[in-house]
């Protein structure tokens, strides 16, 4: 199967699949988040450990519009790092975004298992994000585009950049909620 994919998907197409599949995944979330939150929000908030409540509470009270704005900001970032990878062959930021995309699958799975219910995004996380992420890593390594060291360095970038970016996202959600 990997051979067939390698023959039919060139490197540039592989890279551009990230923003396309990100939107496909996030459409699942955008379409159901507001109704799902209204229906299950109280149950979910009660199940969340206290140290995580602020981040999740901000999400549980979002409108579809506000969630879509969050998605738009992330999408712009993903398109920008994809452009950098495609046009300048600089892959570090792309690998960092790919790592977040990959690990995000386990966030969805963890939420679904912990809450013992469907959570928005879990279906496309498992059926789209996981296979794409694994294949993208395989292809980029197999084609010699990146190395294991590059992937390791991208994880350091994620560890450094993700906390302040998440803080800004939650802060923006709180501000949008008040407006």
**Tens of pLDDT, residues 66-110:** 889 889 999 999 999 999 999 999 999 999 999 999 999 999 999
Given the structure tokens 């790592």, which residue do they identify?
99
Q: Is the pTM of the predicted complex or chain greater than 0.85? A: yes
> Residue 87, exposed/middle/buried by CB under 10 A (0-12, 13-18, 19+)?
exposed
Residue of higher predicted confidence among 85 and 178: 85
Predicted pLDDT of residue 179? 47
Q: Which residues make Cβ contacts (< 8 Å) with residue 174, sequence separation at least 6?
A: 58
Q: What is the mean pLDDT of the chain?
A: 89
């Amino acid at each position: 199967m990997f051979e067939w994919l390698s023959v039919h998907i060139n490197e540039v197409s592989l890279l551009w699949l990230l923003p396309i599949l990100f939107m496909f995944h996030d459409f699942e979330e955008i379409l159901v988040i507001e109704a799902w939150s209204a229906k299950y929000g109280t149950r979910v908030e009660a199940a969340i450990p206290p140290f995580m409540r602020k981040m999740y509470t901000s999400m549980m009270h979002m409108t579809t519009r506000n969630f879509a704005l969050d998605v738009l900001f992330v999408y712009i970032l993903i398109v920008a790092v994809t452009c950098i990878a495609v046009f300048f062959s600089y892959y570090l930021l792309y690998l960092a975004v790919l790592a977040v995309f990959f690990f995000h699958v386990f966030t969805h799975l963890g939420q679904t298992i912990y809450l013992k219910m469907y959570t928005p995004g879990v279906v496309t996380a498992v059926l789209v994000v996981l296979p794409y992420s694994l294949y993208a890593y395989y292809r980029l390594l197999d084609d010699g585009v990146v190395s294991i060291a590059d992937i390791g360095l991208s994880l350091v970038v994620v560890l450094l950049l993700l906390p302040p970016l998440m803080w800004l996202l939650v802060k923006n959600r709180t501000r949008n909620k008040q407006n």
